[in-house]
Amino acid sequence: MTSFSNIDSAYALATEQYQSTGVDVENALKQLRATEISVHCWQGDDVAGFENTGGTLGSGLAVTGNYPGRARNAAELRSDLEKAYSLIPGKHRLNLHALYGEFDEPVQRTDIGVEHFQGWIDWSRDQGVSLDFNPSYFSHPLADDGLTLAHPDEGIREFWINHGIACRRIAAEMGKTQNNPCVNNVWVPDGYKDSPADRATPRYRLAESLDRIFEEPFDTSYLLDAVECKLFGIGSESYVVGSHEFYLGYAITRDKVLCLDAGHFHPTEVISDKISSTLMYVPELLLHVSRGVRWDSDHVVTMSDELQAIMQEIVRGNHLRRVHIGLDFFDASINRIAAWAIGTRNTLKALLMALLEPREELQRLEREGDFTARLALMEEQKTMPFGAVWDHYCATSDVPVGRQWLDSVREYESSVLSKRSESPESVIA
Ligand SMILES: C[C@H](O)[C@H](O)[C@@H](O)C(=O)CO
Ligand SMILES: [Mn+2]
């Protein structure tokens, strides 16, 4: 275990070293502390939610693994989230899906209201955790054929439009209560497994449905509408109605937040290179920080080159105020709280690394055409004592330093998670 005096002296040495490159470590930590990551609720229960309809996850989403201890109700999910937040330095948000409402009896998705989320709103106030929201266009009989807002059947389309309208109202209430904008992100699975005969008409239908959903005006100081594209999913391998080009055009023409999910593009295509260009035309971005592996877009976030590039882009472009950083992964093959801790800590670490770059110097060298020095300094940066600054940040934020967080997860696993039944039985609490 690292002692506090070792952490302090390593931090003092690191600060000196960063200072010699012109980097103000305290200022970097101030910016890090001010950045709230929107932690997604669905890692905690394998995207099951609390509708208790017995339906299975579908619409191109799949969670693999059967690690014991999945949260089976809102009380368990909140307890697990509190545990996860206690391992992550800083104050962060919670990203809720509509199917995580608390329902005493079956409620149609068109009829959900803020009352079904009062438990979450009260919890969020007590915890000082602001909420973001998402309509749920999956795990429902009316989404079983893979079409929702672009469905050719008007009645089905209408159902999903009304779900979208209900969700915006809930999100707006959340935003008002917490006194900061709730980002309400729309992702629909719509697409075809095989080559479509008509690529255009479903896209017109999707745009029309979205326009209907967004008709009701809300102040952007408490509701921000975001739209999320995808290249392909399971069952929509040949065609996705809401492609990148579709939503880029939609967000630009309707002044909406564009969501870029790191797992939603071709494996050789990266979202880090899309941040600066899309921000020229849309007001703000929402990122779903994720990690694609082959066909799966949702692995736990690791300290990959792309994660670092995403954070570098945000910081180098001075975009922190216009980019909402959310997470999107689900892994049921490992301890779910550890998954949250690993993914969120990595996201913050990558952001801190980016904040510790001598960016003015790097950009000056580039302007002057000194690409030799630019490359040399970028490479030197990789062996700077970043870990000492991170450890200091964790210690001063009262969260475990280094690998100690894992002990805390293990303790929770044996005292809480292991007591949960393996059956998918749901307990209303
Ligand atoms: C559960 C989320 O809404 C979902 O992961 C969505 O954001 C997505 O990325 C679908 O592939
Ligand atoms: Mn996503």
Q: How confident is the model at residue 423 (pLDDT cuts 50, 70, 90)?
A: low
Residue 45 assigned ligand-binding role: no
126 and 41 in contact (C-beta within 8 Å)? no
**Could you tell me if the CB of 230 is within 6 A of ligand 1?**
yes
Average pLDDT over residues 322-340: 98
Residue 195 buriedness (CB in 10 A; 0-12 / 13-18 / 19+) = exposed
324 is catalytic: no
CA 398 distance to own-chain centroid: 24
Range of weakest confidence among 54-63, 322-331, 334-343: 54-63
CATH for 35-74+90-338+401-419 is 3.20.20.150
**Could you tell me if the CB of 134 is within 6 A of ligand 1?**
yes
**Could you tell me if the CB of 47 is within 6 A of ligand 1?**
yes
Please state, as a whole number, how many other Cβ atoms lie within 10 Å of the Cβ of residue 124: 20
ipTM above 0.85, yes or no: yes
Give the number of the atom of ligand 1 that is nearest the alpha carbon of residue 42. 1
391 is catalytic: no
195 and 238 in contact (C-beta within 8 Å)? yes
Is the confidence at residue 176, as pLDDT, over 80?
A: yes
Annotated active-site residue in 132, 190, 313, 328: 328
298 is catalytic: yes
Q: What is the pLDDT of residue 421?
A: 82
Is the confidence at residue 428, as pLDDT, over 50?
A: no
288 is catalytic: yes
- Give the pLDDT confidence of 390-401 residue by residue, as tens digits: 999 999 999 999
Q: What is the pLDDT of residue 57?
A: 86
Is the confidence at residue 159, as pLDDT, over 80?
A: yes
Residue 392 assigned ligand-binding role: no
Q: What is the pLDDT of residue 77?
A: 98
Annotated active-site residue in 173, 298, 306, 331: 298
**Domain residue ranges of the chain, discontinuous segments joined by +:** 35-74+90-338+401-419
Is the confidence at residue 78, as pLDDT, over 50?
A: yes
Residue 298 assigned ligand-binding role: yes
The 8-class DSSP code of residue 93 comes to E
Q: What is the pLDDT of residue 426?
A: 44
**Could you tell me if the CB of 187 is within 6 A of ligand 1?**
yes
**Ligand 1 test: best mutation among 59, 261, 293, most atoms within 8 Å of CB?**
261
Strands 257-261, 291-293: parallel, antiparallel or unpaired by DSSP?
unpaired
DSSP track, 334-394: S-HHHHHHHHHHHHHHHHHHHHTS-HHHHHHHHHTT-HHHHHHHHHHHTTS-HHHHHHHHH
Is the confidence at residue 366, as pLDDT, over 70?
A: yes
- Give the pLDDT confidence of 263-297 residue by residue, as tens digits: 999 999 999 999 999 999 999 999 999 999 998 89
Q: How confident is the model at residue 42 (pLDDT cuts 50, 70, 90)?
A: very high
Q: What is the pLDDT of residue 22?
A: 98
Strands 257-261, 223-228: parallel, antiparallel or unpaired by DSSP?
parallel
Is the confidence at residue 318, as pLDDT, over 70?
A: yes
Nearest residue to 277 (alpha-carbon basis) of 250, 258, 262, 264: 258
Q: How confident is the model at residue 11 (pLDDT cuts 50, 70, 90)?
A: very high
- Give the pLDDT confidence of 89-133 residue by residue, as tens digits: 999 999 999 999 999 999 999 999 999 999 999 999 999 999 999
The 8-class DSSP code of residue 130 comes to -
Q: What is the pLDDT of residue 134?
A: 98
**Could you tell me if the CB of 132 is within 6 A of ligand 1?**
no
264 is catalytic: yes
Amino acid letter for position 149:
L
Answer whether 0.80 is exceeded by the pTM: yes
Q: How confident is the model at residue 62 (pLDDT cuts 50, 70, 90)?
A: confident
Average pLDDT over residues 150-166: 98
The 8-class DSSP code of residue 8 comes to H
Is the confidence at residue 231, as pLDDT, over 90?
A: yes
Q: What is the pLDDT of residue 1?
A: 63
Q: What is the pLDDT of residue 287?
A: 99
Mean pLDDT of the chain: 96
Average pLDDT over residues 69-79: 98
Range of weakest confidence among 176-180, 195-199, 292-296, 365-369: 292-296
Q: What is the pLDDT of residue 200?
A: 98
Q: How confident is the model at residue 429 (pLDDT cuts 50, 70, 90)?
A: very low
Annotated active-site residue in 51, 80, 228, 413: 228
Say which residue the tokens 């913050």 belong to.
348
Q: How far apart are CA 38 and CA 169, in angstroms?
A: 20
Structure tokens given for 90? 């800083």
